[in-house]
Amino acid sequence: MSEIIWSPSRLKVAESCMAKYYYMYIKPETSTSTAEMAMGDLFHRLMQEFYKESGEPKYKSAEAFANTAVARWQFMIRQEATKGRKIVWGYKAEPYVFKNKIIPETGNIIYNTYQNRIPPVENEFGFNVEIDGIHYRGFIDAIFPFSEQTGKVAVADFKTHRVEPRKEKLRTDHQFTVYHLIVGFLLKNNLELRRKVGIPDDLAEIVGIDGVYMSPHIEMQWHQLRNGNIIPTERTDKDYPWLVRSIEDRVEQIEKQNFSRHPGYDCNFCPVKRKCDGDLKSRIKLEIPESPQIEIFPTPEKKKKGLRKHQYKLKL
Ligand code: SF4
């Protein structure tokens, strides 16, 4: 079986519903996007471009930022696609409800939240590392400079979800465990990044001591873009075995072709709901196709273009 390269979002999908994993990663041609996902893509892109090199916001006002967001949303409506996936609207007026209300409101909140903040030192930071035989690849939304005050490096994951997670739920979210693990690993192994983040030399050694997976000098943060709240969440080394166990369990399920459905509230926002419902009705069994034409774990486009400027490939 091909090696599985775990991104935080791939793991999240696999943990939430194996049928969804099947449709999104094994037969990805069936994957579409929802309005919520399209909005997430839009604001992630805008957050990457939010600051000038000088650290000032690129936009003169909240209104200017919100107008840019609306213009890009309008373009998405015309294209009916985001990141190459077709957007399936939940109802006829949905694109316009987003355009006239949700997008400008969120744009205003984002501008007011971030205009006076210290900008991140890295945006959309690519990683490609192997730790204890598990291969991880993905992008980290933002890494902020080391704070003398807290003794920590803040790492943000931008979210456009309607509802904030409960703190207890976030505490066990493996997506954040992966980010924490990876940033600690990179800070330990990459001098350039460590300097860029501004970690003092006397602290450098304890940022990632050998044997420590979850550095105490990292604070993961959920940035709720719709209301400007920032929810911190901590990880310790005790979280690491749970992460590995979860990944091993998912691999076992895939090897056994166990793509069971996990129906629940999340089905309402599921990008493959139509396909899932259709196959369920027709009693189609979800199996890994035998055809060698179909790559079981497809390589994202980015790999074909080579590593990005700040993407690292490291092995422990
Ligand atoms: S609709 Fe529900 S059960 Fe079906 S793939 Fe999506 S989350 Fe899983």
Q: What angle do CA 271, 277, 282 make, to 5 degrees?
A: 140
Which CATH number covers residue 127?
3.90.320
Which of 16, 26, 33, 267 is the pocket-test mutation for ligand 1 (most atoms within 8 Å of CB)? 267
- The residue among 79, 114, 149 that closes a domain is 114
Compute, in angstroms, the gap from residue 25 CA to the centroid of ligand 1. 14
Same domain, 106 and 181: no
Q: Is the pLDDT of residue 127 over 80?
A: yes
Residue 210: the pLDDT is 56
Same domain, 289 and 263: yes
Same domain, 42 and 177: no
Residue 134: the pLDDT is 94
Judge if the beta carbon of residue 12 lies within 6 A of ligand 1.
Answer: no
Ligand 1 atom with the smallest distance to the CA of 22 is 5
Same domain, 170 and 212: yes
Same domain, 77 and 132: no
Average pLDDT over residues 92-115: 97
The pLDDT-based confidence of 293 (bands split at 50, 70, 90) is very low
Ligand 1 atom with the smallest distance to the CA of 23 is 5
Compute, in angstroms, the gap from residue 78 CA to the centroid of ligand 1. 28
Q: Is the pLDDT of residue 221 over 60?
A: yes
Same domain, 39 and 72: yes
The one-character DSSP state at 33 is: B
Same domain, 213 and 174: yes
- The residue among 114, 143, 163 that closes a domain is 114
Compute, in angstroms, the gap from residue 222 CA to the centroid of ligand 1. 24
Same domain, 78 and 11: no
Judge if the beta carbon of residue 270 lies within 6 A of ligand 1.
Answer: yes
Residue 316: the pLDDT is 42
Judge if the beta carbon of residue 275 lies within 6 A of ligand 1.
Answer: no
The pLDDT-based confidence of 207 (bands split at 50, 70, 90) is low
Q: Which of 68-82, 130-144, 232-246, 273-287 is predicted least confidently?
A: 273-287
Residue 208: the pLDDT is 56
Mean of pLDDT over the chain: 87
The pLDDT-based confidence of 308 (bands split at 50, 70, 90) is very low
Neighbours of 236 (CB within 10 A): 12
Judge if the beta carbon of residue 17 lies within 6 A of ligand 1.
Answer: yes
Q: Is the pLDDT of residue 314 over 50?
A: no
Same domain, 10 and 109: no
Which of 12, 18, 20 is the pocket-test mutation for ligand 1 (most atoms within 8 Å of CB)? 20
Same domain, 21 and 51: no
Ligand 1 atom with the smallest distance to the CA of 262 is 3
Q: Is the pLDDT of residue 250 over 50?
A: yes
- The residue among 81, 114, 147 that closes a domain is 114
Compute, in angstroms, the gap from residue 261 CA to the centroid of ligand 1. 6
pLDDT digits (tens, 9 = 90+) for 26-49: 987 767 889 999 999 999 999 999
Total domains in the chain come to 2
From 310, 155, 132, select the one nearest 217 (Cα to Cα).
155
The pLDDT-based confidence of 126 (bands split at 50, 70, 90) is very high
**Residue 297's domain spans which residues?**
1-30+119-316
Residue 139: the pLDDT is 95
From 298, 295, 299, 297, select the one nearest 307 (Cα to Cα).
299
Residue 283: the pLDDT is 84
Same domain, 235 and 125: yes
Residue 188: the pLDDT is 84
- With H, G, I as helix, E, B as strand and everything else as coil, classify residue 231: strand
Ligand 1 atom with the smallest distance to the CA of 280 is 4
Q: Is the pLDDT of residue 66 over 90?
A: yes
* Residue 182 one-letter amino acid: I
Average pLDDT over residues 219-239: 96
Compute, in angstroms, the gap from residue 145 CA to the centroid of ligand 1. 39
Residue 76: the pLDDT is 94
Cα 43 to Cα 225: distance, rounded to the nearest angstrom: 8
Helices (H), the chain: 8-16, 18-21, 35-48, 62-79, 94-97, 103-114, 167-171, 174-189, 191-197, 201-207, 239-255, 273-281, 301-304
- What pTM did the predictor assign? 0.87
Judge if the beta carbon of residue 19 lies within 6 A of ligand 1.
Answer: yes
Same domain, 171 and 314: yes
Tokens representing 272 are 């493959």
